[in-house]
């Protein structure tokens, strides 16, 4: 049976007109109910997700924990309630030359949202992932397009969300699960009732949805997280003191989950003097990493195609070449390149999705500044330097801030914390909208827009804007924060 998108969007719109007015307590209880229902099917869900994604059950178990924790964060956020940016300018009837009106502002949900999940996180960035949950938390119904790489996992999770809707006695149109190909996805994005799109995946996929959405009669925002190479800048003192440990850290982050993370570091800058020692250490670590199955054959094929092309480039000096036993297995790879060659061709900034990194050998800071100028937008940049060395890198830091959403000074970019302060999203082309994050509390803001009520009778005001502040939220009243 062909999918009737009109019917789906009309149901979503009808549900929206109800859902947007649901009280914070009821909405947060519904969100917690989603976590409860997913947790209730975990013994069934984990093996299915593991089988469909080729990711070990241990990893899926961890991801499930992350997913449930993330749902809890949004439930807390909604329950606390201050995220709506309630702002009140009190009236002054005696103001001259004209009375000052009563103006009250808050942010309000955009409307039905289409979510396109990721293959590499069958739970945390998929059916009940951060995009879906932040949209629901904002008060937007979600039309979730199942990822073809894990259809059964998606159905199971969708079933749990539907159960939560039923238990919470909310309209069914709040969450709808659709399956289909690229054309259906395009029709979904083009539907006049849709109000926003969230996507995690390839540059090609995200950019094409962004272009479609902008060409609509009524353009809508597209939050596409499309990955990046996440450069690591190493400095001699720091690297010299911790060479083995940092090589291990780097390889761990590069190869975790067969390198299938948006934030894995595919680019590392190493000083000429440490080139040999560090690449030897990395190589030794890489030898210990067994090739493991990638998410699906298409991804493995792309990985090897990218490497095959790179092997034709004379600028690269291969430290470790990928040698898969079976094509589905991702085998880690590393190549070195001189900085002057790297600077010449933007192709070397292109993400190779998988456990491949390019080690760029530099001689001086001026070269790194040139890199920072030329660098495309990144989800993350990482600086490994001693405090003493950082003092000389203030200008580099100033430049790198312009090129990323998250700047790290310790550790590795993978393992994105789910919290209030996280920013997962950066300048184009890492995302289509650097103003949003797809991880952490602020993800909710992507699905809301401001509305002001002028001289609205108290009895009609949303609770967030009433004089007596019945929700007890933080508000900006005549320019002062109060609770």
**Is residue 211 involved in binding a copy of itself (CB under 8 A)?**
yes
Residue of 24, 185, 221, 257 interacting with a copy of itself (CB under 8 A): 221
Q: How many CA atoms lie within 13 A of 223 on its CB side?
A: 27
Catalytic residue among 52, 63, 140, 225: 225
Residue of 4, 17, 241, 301 interacting with a copy of itself (CB under 8 A): 17
Nearer to a copy of itself, 166 or 402 (CB): 402
Please give the full DSSP string across 245-296, using - where no structure is assigned: HHHHHHHHHHHGGGG--TTS--EEEEEGGGHHHHHHHHHHHHHT---EE-S-
Which structure tokens are listed for 407? 């700047």
CA 325/CA 323 separation, integer angstroms: 7
Residue of 103, 178, 328, 343 interacting with a copy of itself (CB under 8 A): 103
| Shortest reach from residue 134's CB to a copy of itself, in Å | 14
Q: Are strands 356-362 and 333-338 parallel, antiparallel or unpaired?
A: parallel
Contacts of 377 (CB under 8 A, 6+ apart): 228, 403, 404, 426, 427, 428, 429, 430, 431, 434
Straight-line distance from the first to the last Cα atom of the chain, in angstroms, rounded to the nearest whole number: 53
Which structure tokens are listed for 103? 């103006």
Q: Are strands 333-338 and 317-320 parallel, antiparallel or unpaired?
A: antiparallel
Q: How many CA atoms lie within 13 A of 449 on its CB side?
A: 6
**Is residue 459 involved in binding a copy of itself (CB under 8 A)?**
yes
Whether 172 sits among the annotated catalytic residues: the reply is no
Residue of 98, 181, 183, 323 interacting with a copy of itself (CB under 8 A): 98
| Shortest reach from residue 273's CB to a copy of itself, in Å | 24
**Is residue 40 involved in binding a copy of itself (CB under 8 A)?**
no
Residue of 415, 467, 470, 472 interacting with a copy of itself (CB under 8 A): 415
Whether 217 sits among the annotated catalytic residues: the reply is no
Quick check: 431 and 406 in contact, CB under 8 A?
Answer: no
Catalytic residue among 63, 140, 262, 404: 262
**Is residue 245 involved in binding a copy of itself (CB under 8 A)?**
no
Which residues 60-79 are close enough to bind a copy of itself by CB under 8 A? 76
| Shortest reach from residue 456's CB to a copy of itself, in Å | 5
Site map 422..451 versus a copy of itself, x via CB under 8 A: xx-x-xxx--xxxx-x---xx-----xxxx
Q: Cβ of 276: how many Cβ atoms within 10 Å?
A: 12
| Shortest reach from residue 393's CB to a copy of itself, in Å | 9
Which residues 358-397 are close enough to bind a copy of itself by CB under 8 A? 377, 387, 390, 394, 397
Helix crossing, 365-374 with 394-401: angle to 10°? 10
**Is residue 343 involved in binding a copy of itself (CB under 8 A)?**
no
| Shortest reach from residue 276's CB to a copy of itself, in Å | 29
Size of the site for a copy of itself (CB under 8 A): 77
Residue of 41, 167, 178, 408 interacting with a copy of itself (CB under 8 A): 408
Nearer to a copy of itself, 333 or 400 (CB): 400
**Is residue 10 involved in binding a copy of itself (CB under 8 A)?**
no
Quick check: 63 and 124 in contact, CB under 8 A?
Answer: yes
Catalytic positions, written as ranges: 225, 262
């Amino acid at each position: 049976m062909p999918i009737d998108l009109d019917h789906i969007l009309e149901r979503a719109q009808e549900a929206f007109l109800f859902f947007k007015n649901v009280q914070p307590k009821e909405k947060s209880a519904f969100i917690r109910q989603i976590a409860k229902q997913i947790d209730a099917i975990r013994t069934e869900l984990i093996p299915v997700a593991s089988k469909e994604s080729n990711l070990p059950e241990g990893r899926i178990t961890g991801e499930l924990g992350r997913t449930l924790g993330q749902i809890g964060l949004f439930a807390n956020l909604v329950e606390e309630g201050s995220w709506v940016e309630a702002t009140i300018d009190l009236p002054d009837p005696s103001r001259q030359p004209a009375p000052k009106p009563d103006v009250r502002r808050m942010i309000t949900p955009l409307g039905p949202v289409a979510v396109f999940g990721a293959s590499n996180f069958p739970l945390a960035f998929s059916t009940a992932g951060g995009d879906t949950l932040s949209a629901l938390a904002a008060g937007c119904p979600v039309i979730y397009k199942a990822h073809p790489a894990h259809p059964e996992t998606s159905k199971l999770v969708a079933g749990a969300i539907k159960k939560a809707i039923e238990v919470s006695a909310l309209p069914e149109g709040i969450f709808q699960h659709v399956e289909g190909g690229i054309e259906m996805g395009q029709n979904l994005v083009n539907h006049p009732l849709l109000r926003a799109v969230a996507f995690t995946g390839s540059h090609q996929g995200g950019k094409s949805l962004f272009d479609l959405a902008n060409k609509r009669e009524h353009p809508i925002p597209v939050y596409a997280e499309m990955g990046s190479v996440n450069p690591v800048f190493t400095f001699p003192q720091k690297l010299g003191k911790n060479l083995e440990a940092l090589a291990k850290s780097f390889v761990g982050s590069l190869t975790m989950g067969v390198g299938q993370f948006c934030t894995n570091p595919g680019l590392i800058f190493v000083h000429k003097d440490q080139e040999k020692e560090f690449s030897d250490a990395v190589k030794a670590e890489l030898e210990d990493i067994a090739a493991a199955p990638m998410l699906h054959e298409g991804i493995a094929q792309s990985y090897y195609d990218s490497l095959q092309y790179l092997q034709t480039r004379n600028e690269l000096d291969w430290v470790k070449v990928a040698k898969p036993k079976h094509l589905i297995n991702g085998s880690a790879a590393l190549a070195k390149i001189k900085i002057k060659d790297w600077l010449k061709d933007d192709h070397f900034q292109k993400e190779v999705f998988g456990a491949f990194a390019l080690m760029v050998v530099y001689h001086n800071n001026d070269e790194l500044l040139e890199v920072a100028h030329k660098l495309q937008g990144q989800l993350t940049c990482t600086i490994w330097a001693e405090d003493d060395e950082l003092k000389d890198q203030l200008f580099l830091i100033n430049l790198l801030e312009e090129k990323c959403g998250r700047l790290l000074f310790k550790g590795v970019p993978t393992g994105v914390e789910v919290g209030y302060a996280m920013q997962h999203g950066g300048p184009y082309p890492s995302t289509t909208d650097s103003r949003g994050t797809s991880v952490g509390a602020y993800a909710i803001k992507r699905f809301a827009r401001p509305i002001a009520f002028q001289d609205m009778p108290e009895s009609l005001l949303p609770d967030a804007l009433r004089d007596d502040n019945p929700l007890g939220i933080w508000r900006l009243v005549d320019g002062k924060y109060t609770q």
